[in-house]
Structure formats: structure tokens, C-alpha cells
């Protein structure tokens, strides 16, 4: 069974756009179970920030929530959306807090990240004013230099938390900067720093909060970092975080990006294609137009480098990628209006991956996936 969603869900969109993304929800479930088998008995927090890495926040989270122990998002709005969609699993918002957001966290039963003594005190005051208790995870910076109290000052945050009466410190966590590298020396240094911070609780005979640090790279390469819970991101979606990483968990991509041929013409020699006239042929060629472009997240930087699959064969994209269309050189082959085009996925023994698009664009698969625009409908295969 399939269902098409384009925020918001409108069933009538089924036939509106030929360019769409197909998400295999069953494959996501298989990926999650493969990760769980690797890290057991640790719990698994599924990270669904940035529209579930382009796969669709609401649909992915609702599908995987029964299998997950915890859910991780980046911003308050993502957490609220999931609560309004009926997701009742614990949700950690991992980004920073600003303004007067704290009451909304408490109202929607979202777990806050407390990265400093100042923020912790603000959370305590807001919760006290509401007569409620806020749930937080303390964030420790062990070498990322993003948000979080520095590991060498972590005791100040931990001690401040002991004085709070309206804050429950459920967890404590950090984040790796280089766990997906071949050289794991910095990752191991971060791990050592985090373990030193955790000694605070042991030395005082205090209950240990829920500990988590392992991202996708660490899940694959650093079993000693699993602690009580892991946080798979890109790995959950079937893509390995780098070419260097050990592939110790068998996962497969869950996303296919498709379009269709909408125009066919024969282009004569000396007639350049697209803006800037960056490509032309020295002989007559058959050019087909595909309705996808950088307005959909198909990066302009891939111009004259990208390939697509039509009828089980790879063909080069030619000329500058436009906002809404690309042109493809099929030489003397045939293609007709309505023929399927694979942008990411496999057909006839050929495959194009998110890693391929990343190479062509000079970026990383994370950016490829999260830049697929929301105007591209998602079709969910159940």
C-alpha cells in the first residue's frame, strides 16, 4: 500500500507532480532493527530532525515510534508537530532554547536540552511558575564546540541541577565530532572526557542519568560509547555517514527520487543547451527535459556532472541545471513523454545514490537528502 503526503496531507495530490520521492517505511523498520541488534541492550533514540533527513518528519516518526525508545529532534516546532500528530514517545529537543519558549516545552511534554547553568535556571524558574516539573538532559561539550557546557566545567552544571526542585535531570549527553573517521583518536578523547564527567555521580553515590553519546559513526565503530542509549541519524535512513566508516551494520536506503520525461527534441551541433551555454554537442543528439531542478533541491552545482537512469541505463545531465528543469542527453536512444526517470535509486542493474549526488555537488549525503524541497511530494510504501 502507498500513500502520498505533501505537507499537509492532501490525497488529491496523487496525480499532480511527476517528480516525487518514494519512502519505503518497511526498510526504515528493518534498518532500525539492525541498529538495535548491534547496540543491545542499549536503547535507541531515532533522530528525525530536518524533516526526518528529507524523508518526511510526521510520517516517519509516526511509523517508527512503536519501535523506538526515544525520539530526537532539533527544534521546538518539530517536537510540537509530533505531539500534535499523536506521537507519545519521549521527545528530546537537542537544539538551543531562546526567548520564552520554555513553557511550550513543558506544555507539550518535551524534554529540554540544558547546555548551561543559565539555561537550567531559566528552565527551573519557568517550571516553578507553572507549578510543573520540566524534564531535561544536560548537554556536555567534549570537543564539538557547538552547544553545551565544556567538559572541564561540567561540574558547575551538575551541581546546579542538584539544587533544582522543578527540574528532573533524566539524561546527560554529548556529541562526537569525528566518530565517522578512520582515525578515531579524537573520538576516543571525547569519550574519555565524557566518562570523566560521569564520575561526578559515582563519586557522590547519586543515581546515574540516562547516558547517551553515540551517533551513526559511533554506532558503527565505537561500541564502548553505547552507554544507555544511542542516537542513529543518517544510518537509520540506510546511508553510511562517511566512506571511511566501518560498515558493521547492514542497512539499505529507504528513499528513491523519481521523475518523468516531459519533453523530447533533437538538438543540432553548435546549439548550446541551457543558461550560460555551458554544453553543446558536435553531432545531433536527442535531449529530453525532466521537471526537476535546484528549486526542488537538485543542486545547480551538479550541472554537467549528474546522471539519471532511464530505461535501466545511465545518461548524463547536460547544460546548467535550472530552477525547475534539467536536460539529459540520451544520444540516439529513445525516450517518450511519461517515461520514468530515476534521480536517486536503482533500475535495470544501474544505481544512483545520495553519495553520488553529493560527489557531483561537492557536498555530503546529509545535505542532499535534507535539501529535497517540501514541494516534492513524498509517497510512502507500507
| CATH number (domain holding residue 287) | 2.40.37.10
CATH number, domain with residue 81: 3.20.20.10
Alpha-helical regions (H) of 18-89? 25-39, 49-53, 57-64, 76-84
138 near 173, Cβ under 8 Å?
yes
Domain boundary among 237, 270, 286: 237
In a domain, residue 36? The reply is no
| H or E stretch at 175 | none
Q: Which residue has the cell 560527489?
A: 359
C-alpha 367/C-alpha 224 separation (Å) is 29
For the chain, give the number of residues.
382
Query: If we measure between CA atoms, which residue out of 316, 252, 313 comes closest to residue 288?
Result: 316
Grid cell in block for residue 134? 520540566
In a domain, residue 22? The reply is no
328 near 287, Cβ under 8 Å?
yes
Q: What are the residues facing 313 on neighbouring strands?
A: 310
In a domain, residue 277? The reply is yes
Q: Are residues 66 and 145 in the same domain?
A: yes
Domains contained in the chain, number: 2
Q: What distances in angstroms separate CA 73 from CA 70, 85, 112, one per listed residue? A: 10, 14, 11
Residues 6+ apart with CB under 8 A from 73: 47, 48, 49, 57, 79, 82, 91, 92, 93, 94
Q: Are residues 91 and 161 in the same domain?
A: yes
176 near 187, Cβ under 8 Å?
yes
Predicted structure pTM score: 0.94
C-alpha 82/C-alpha 146 separation (Å) is 26
Q: Are residues 218 and 339 in the same domain?
A: no
Q: Could you list the pLDDT tens digit for every one of the 382 residues in the chain?
A: 444 444 433 334 455 689 999 999 999 999 999 999 999 999 999 999 999 999 999 999 999 999 999 999 999 999 999 999 999 999 999 999 987 999 999 999 999 999 999 999 999 999 999 999 999 999 999 999 999 999 999 999 999 999 999 999 999 999 999 999 999 999 999 999 999 999 999 999 999 999 999 999 999 999 999 999 999 999 999 999 999 999 999 999 999 999 999 999 999 999 999 999 999 999 999 999 999 999 999 999 999 999 999 999 999 999 999 999 999 999 999 999 999 999 999 999 999 999 999 999 999 999 999 999 999 999 999 8
In a domain, residue 21? The reply is no
Grid cell in block for residue 212? 547517551
Q: Are residues 57 and 107 in the same domain?
A: yes
Q: Are strands 43-47 and 70-73 parallel, antiparallel or unpaired?
A: parallel
Q: Which position among 43, 49, 135, 139 bears the catalytic label?
A: 49
Q: Are residues 198 and 281 in the same domain?
A: no
Q: Are residues 78 and 194 in the same domain?
A: yes
3-state DSSP of 215-246: CHHHHHHCHHHCCCEECCCHHHHCCCCCCCCC
In a domain, residue 355? The reply is yes
Number of neighbouring beta carbons within 10 Å of residue 260: 20
C-alpha 151/C-alpha 229 separation (Å) is 20
Query: How confident is the model at residue 15, as a pLDDT?
Result: 54
C-alpha 54/C-alpha 190 separation (Å) is 29
Query: How confident is the model at residue 130, as a pLDDT?
Result: 97
* Coil/strand/helix, residue 213: strand
Grid cell in block for residue 314? 545511465
| H or E stretch at 107 | helix 102-107
Domain boundary among 237, 266, 286: 237
Q: Are residues 233 and 284 in the same domain?
A: no
Query: How confident is the model at residue 16, as a pLDDT?
Result: 67
Q: Are residues 80 and 206 in the same domain?
A: yes
Q: Are residues 325 and 212 in the same domain?
A: no
| H or E stretch at 136 | strand 134-141
Radius of gyration over every alpha carbon of the chain, rounded to an integer in angstroms: 24
Q: Are residues 192 and 68 in the same domain?
A: yes
Q: Clarify whether 49 is annotated catalytic.
A: yes
Q: What are the residues facing 230 on neighbouring strands?
A: 44, 214
Query: If we measure between CA atoms, which residue out of 160, 171, 177 comes closest to residue 116?
Result: 160
In a domain, residue 4? The reply is no
C-alpha 218/C-alpha 175 separation (Å) is 10
Q: Clarify whether 275 is annotated catalytic.
A: yes
Q: Which position among 237, 246, 275, 366 bears the catalytic label?
A: 275
Q: Are residues 48 and 178 in the same domain?
A: yes
In a domain, residue 150? The reply is yes
Which domain covers residue 314, as residue numbers?
Answer: 255-381
Grid cell in block for residue 371? 535539501
Q: Are residues 229 and 277 in the same domain?
A: no
Domain boundary among 237, 266, 297: 237
Separation of CA 208 from chain center: 29
In a domain, residue 27? The reply is no
Amino acid at each position: 500500500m502507498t500513500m502520498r503526503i505533501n505537507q499537509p496531507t492532501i490525497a488529491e495530490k496523487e496525480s499532480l507532480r511527476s517528480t516525487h520521492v518514494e519512502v519505503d517505511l518497511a526498510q526504515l523498520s528493518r534498518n532500525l532493527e539492525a541498529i538495535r541488534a548491534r547496540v543491545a541492550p542499549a536503547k535507541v533514540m531515532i533522530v528525525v530532525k530536518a524533516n526526518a533527513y528529507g524523508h518526511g518528519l510526521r510520517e516517519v516518526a509516526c511509523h517508527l515510534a512503536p519501535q523506538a525508545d526515544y525520539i530526537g529532534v532539533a527544534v521546538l516546532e518539530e517536537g510540537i508537530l509530533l505531539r500534535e500528530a499523536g506521537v507519545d514517545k519521549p521527545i528530546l529537543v537537542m537544539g538551543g532554547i531562546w526567548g520564552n519558549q520554555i513553557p511550550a516545552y513543558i506544555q507539550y511534554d518535551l524534554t529540554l536540552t540544558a547546555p548551561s547553568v543559565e539555561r537550567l535556571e531559566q528552565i527551573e524558574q519557568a517550571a516553578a511558575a507553572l507549578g510543573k516539573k520540566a524534564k531535561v538532559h544536560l548537554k556536555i561539550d567534549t570537543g564539538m564546540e557547538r552547544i553545551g557546557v565544556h567538559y572541564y566545567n561540567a561540574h558547575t552544571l551538575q551541581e546546579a541541577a542538584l539544587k533544582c526542585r522543578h527540574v528532573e535531570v533524566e539524561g546527560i549527553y554529548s556529541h562526537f565530532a569525528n566518530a565517522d573517521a578512520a582515525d578515531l583518536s579524537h573520538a576516543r578523547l571525547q569519550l574519555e572526557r565524557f566518562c570523566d564527567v560521569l564520575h561526578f555521580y559515582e563519586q557522590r553515590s547519586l543515581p546515574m542519568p540516562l547516558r547517551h553519546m553515540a551517533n551513526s559513526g559511533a554506532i558503527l565503530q565505537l561500541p564502548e560509547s553505547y552507554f544507555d542509549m544511542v542516537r542513529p541519524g543518517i544510518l537509520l535512513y540506510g546511508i553510511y555517514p562517511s566512506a571511511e566508516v566501518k560498515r558493521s551494520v547492514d542497512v539499505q536506503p529507504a528513499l528513491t527520487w523519481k521523475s518523468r520525461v516531459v519533453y523530447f527534441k533533437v538538438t543540432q551541433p553548435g546549439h548550446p543547451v541551457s543558461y550560460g551555454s555551458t554544453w553543446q554537442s558536435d553531432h545531433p543528439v536527442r535531449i529530453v527535459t525532466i521537471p526537476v531542478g535546484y528549486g526542488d533541491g537538485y543542486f545547480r552545482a551538479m550541472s554537467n556532472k549528474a546522471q539519471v537512469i532511464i530505461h535501466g541505463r545511465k545518461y548524463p545531465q547536460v547544460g546548467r541545471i535550472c530552477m525547475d528543469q534539467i536536460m539529459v542527453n540520451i544520444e540516439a536512444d529513445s525516450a517518450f513523454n511519461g517515461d520514468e526517470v530515476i534521480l536517486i535509486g536503482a533500475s535495470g542493474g544501474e544505481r544512483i545514490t545520495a553519495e553520488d549526488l553529493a560527489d557531483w555537488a561537492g557536498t555530503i549525503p546529509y545535505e542532499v537528502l535534507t535539501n529535497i524541497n517540501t514541494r516534492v511530494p513524498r509517497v510512502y510504501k507500507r
